[in-house]
Homo-oligomer: A and B are copies of this chain.
Amino acid sequence: MSIGDIVNETSSRRGFLKRTALTAIAGGAVVACKESASPAGTTTSLAAKPAAASALSAAEAMDKMHEAGVKAFPAKTAGKGNQVLPPRIEKSVKIFELTAEKIQWETAPGQMVEAWAYNKQVPGPQIRVREGDRVRFILHNKLEQSTAVHFHGLELPNEVDGVPFITQPPVKPGASYTYEFAVPEGNHGSHMYHSHYNAAQQVGLGLLGAFLVEPKNPSAIERADVDYTLILNDGAHGYTFNGKSFPATEPLKAKTGQKLRIRFMNEGMMIHPMHLHGMHMTVIAKDGWAVPAPWKCDTLNVAPGERWDVIVNCKSPGVWAFHCHILPHAESDHGMFGMVTAVIVT
């Protein structure tokens, strides 16, 4: 059963959405929006000054483009970033291998860009470890320039900080390099890893990923039914969520009553004030650190290098637009694009 089917079924069962024209957008199932069945709305024509025929046809053409974008969501593209990388374990050490290389990456259907990627993913594979874990990262550099990895947010010994000529030599083309450390206690939460060499270019092209440290004792507030990491970017690949541009972005799915945790991470050059429709977000952590008093918002300004963790209590079923509120990052006269996705509550 697709999420689209679930939405429809939920709608019928609860009678809640029964007269709506909700476009069920999920799992590839798309139900067309019928104008005659508009929700609380009644569409009537205005007596006053009808628009000229040419303007009307331009308006129709614009509607078609907008509709096509929405109907295509979530559009299929080659490649998926931010996939959990299972470590191989040797003598209690969790070992992760990261290979940096140039690839072609599809950000939206047919939009191919050059990416510099870890393990052929943009963002790179998601690292998930636990406080106190012993970990080893083996970086293989298949790029044509040097590189290095910085573990952004982790409080590590200086020698594994990843800054060439300050804490290590650059990792040259064709070379490999090993970082090994214990994940520090008390420093759990949402962190990142990314290149710290020629970083404006290398991170801009995709050498970045999420580094999540699970706490030994999670607090009640951070336990969630759905845990979603959303990496914002705005470099050479355009405006993206987890390396994809609308309509190829991934919807966030939860059931009514579930707790959704969203981990925002900004790896770009601009702020992105993320706006969720219909439900508020409770901010629980900044850069991995629990905030002293959680606070609520519907628009959260995420600056480059920042991570913010929020909880959404998914109380209200529907397809909720979720986008950057710098509108030119999200919509043009050709329809929605870039930093747009949806929270789908069934």
Q: A51-B173, A200-B330 are in contact. Are A304 and B273 (CB under 8 A)?
A: yes
A232 beta carbon closer than 8 Å to chain B? no
Q: How many copies does the complex hold?
A: 3
- In the complex, are the beta carbons of A319 and B155 less than 8 A apart? no
Residues of B within 8 A of A316 (CB): 155, 157-158
Residues of B within 8 A of A196 (CB): 321
Residues of B within 8 A of A342 (CB): 166
CA separation between A280 and B33, bound complex, in Å?
50
Residues of B within 8 A of A317 (CB): 158
A98 to chain B, nearest CB (A): 13
Q: A40-B179, A175-B45, A304-B325 are in contact. Are A165 and B280 (CB under 8 A)?
A: no
* Stretch in contact with the other chain, from A77-85, A120-128, A215-223, A286-294: A286-294
- In the complex, are the beta carbons of A59 and B166 less than 8 A apart? no
A94 beta carbon closer than 8 Å to chain B? no
Q: A22-B158, A158-B319, A161-B277 are in contact. Are A198 and B299 (CB under 8 A)?
A: no
| Chain A residues within 8 Å of B, Cβ to Cβ | 16-17, 19-23, 25, 33-35, 38-46, 48-52, 55-56, 58-59, 62-63, 66-67, 70-71, 140-142, 144-146, 150, 152-153, 155-161, 163-181, 196-201, 203-204, 269-271, 273, 275, 277-280, 286-289, 291-299, 301, 303-307, 316-321, 325-328, 330-333, 342
